[in-house]
């Protein structure tokens, strides 16, 4: 059986290499909060798409349009049907990433959003980072190998040309389902060597890897985690202003991507 399996593997690798040489056509941008998404929807002149690409009844929203020859889809998980707040966190992020890849077959995923930053690692309010690594900090399973499965640390898709041209900061991102930080989370975030803390990135990365779609992570800092200010207050206070910086960076990234293939990023 081995030669047969090797043959399939080589064929798959060849297909991936071929795909990386084709111009990027379709992008899915996963954004958890409406406040973060709407300025980009306007910037790219996207419209809300009512085609049933998602199952009936889910709150997930797809904004779609053509911008600089790119087929752009901003996917927002929508608002919780009972509580009316944005569906933030890893579960909605995983679901919309999976459903979007299945329905739209994108060449590239971008996960854009806000994050907490660590000043000890050089983060300041309003900084925009591209994540070079992602991991979880709240999936603690202290059994050999399951511990590594829980953390799920991985390098993100490498974009050396984009980083060189756009001069964005680069840092490691740690993901969990809480805005605050428990002492356990803090120890895991430190072990992950993270500069940034968010609530979606590693989940999007997991699904994108599962389905072999390259993904990049653009995160803007709304609050400093390792200072004395209450996180929720600082986050809400800075959300709108920092979103402007995030959206500017995402636009630069999309402009850079336009006309290129995956292997040129």
Active site residues: 36, 223
Binding mask 140-179 for ligand ADE (x = CB under 6 A): ---------------------------------------x
CB of 181 to ligand ADE, least distance (A): 7
Binding span for ligand ADE by CB under 6 A among 3-11, 16-24, 71-79, 111-119: 111-119
Residues 199-218 that bind ligand ADE (CB under 6 A): 199
Taking CB under 6 A as the criterion, the residue among 133, 192, 197, 203 binding ligand ADE is: 197
127 or 223: whose CB is closer to ligand ADE? 223
CB of 246 to ligand ADE, least distance (A): 11
46 or 204: whose CB is closer to ligand ADE? 204
Instruction: Tell me the three-class secondary structure of the chain, residue by residue.
Output: CHHHHHHHHHHHHHHHHHHHCCECCEEEEECCCHHHHHHHHHHCCCEECCCCCCCCCCCCEEEEEEECCEEEEEEECCECCCCCCECCCHHHHHHHHHHHHHHHCCCEEEEEEEEEECHHHCCCCCCEEEEEEEEECCCCCCCCCHHHHHHCCEECCCCHHHHHHHCCEEEEEEECCCCCCCHHHHHHHHHCCCCEEECCHHHHHHHHHHCCCCEEEEEEEEEECCCCCCHHHHHHHHHHHHHHHHHHHHHHHHHHHCCCEHHHC
Taking CB under 6 A as the criterion, the residue among 225, 254, 257, 265 binding ligand ADE is: 225
Residue 63's closest CA among 79, 78, 75, 52? 75
| Distance (Å, whole) CA 112 – CA 127 | 13
CB of 63 to ligand ADE, least distance (A): 21
* Binding status of residue 114 toward ligand ADE by CB under 6 A: yes
| Distance (Å, whole) CA 149 – CA 167 | 33
- Give residue number: closest CB to ligand ADE: 116
64 or 243: whose CB is closer to ligand ADE? 243
CB of 164 to ligand ADE, least distance (A): 27
Total residues contacting ligand ADE by CB under 6 A comes to 12
115 or 245: whose CB is closer to ligand ADE? 115
* Binding status of residue 135 toward ligand ADE by CB under 6 A: no
Contact residues: ligand ADE, CB under 6 A = 114-116, 179, 197-199, 222-223, 225, 231, 235
């Amino acid at each position: 059986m081995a030669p047969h399996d090797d043959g399939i593997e080589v064929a798959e690798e060849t297909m991936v290499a071929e795909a990386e040489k084709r111009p990027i056509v379709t992008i899915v941008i996963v954004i958890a909060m409406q406040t973060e998404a709407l300025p980009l929807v306007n910037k790219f002149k996207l419209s809300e798409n009512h085609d049933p690409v998602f199952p009936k009844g889910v709150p997930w929203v797809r904004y779609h349009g053509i911008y600089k020859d790119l087929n752009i889809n901003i996917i927002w998980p929508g608002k919780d049907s009972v509580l009316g707040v944005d569906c933030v966190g890893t579960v909605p992020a995983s679901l919309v990433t999976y459903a979007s890849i299945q329905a739209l077959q994108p060449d590239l995923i971008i996960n854009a959003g806000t994050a907490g930053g660590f000043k000890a690692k050089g983060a300041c309010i309003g900084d925009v980072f591209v994540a070079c690594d992602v991991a979880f900090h709240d999936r603690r399973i202290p059994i050999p190998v399951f511990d590594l499965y829980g953390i799920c640390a991985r390098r993100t898709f490498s974009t050396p040309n984009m980083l060189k041209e756009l001069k964005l900061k680069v840092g490691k991102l740690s993901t969990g389902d809480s805005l605050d930080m428990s002492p356990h989370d803090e120890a895991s975030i430190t072990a992950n060597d993270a500069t940034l803390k968010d609530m979606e990135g590693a989940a999007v990365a997991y699904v994108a890897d599962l389905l072999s779609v390259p993904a990049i992570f653009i995160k803007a800092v709304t609050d400093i985690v390792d200072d004395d200010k209450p996180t929720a207050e600082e986050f809400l206070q800075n959300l709108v202003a920092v979103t402007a910086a995030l959206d500017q960076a995402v636009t630069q990234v999309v402009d850079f991507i336009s006309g290129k293939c995956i292997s040129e990023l």
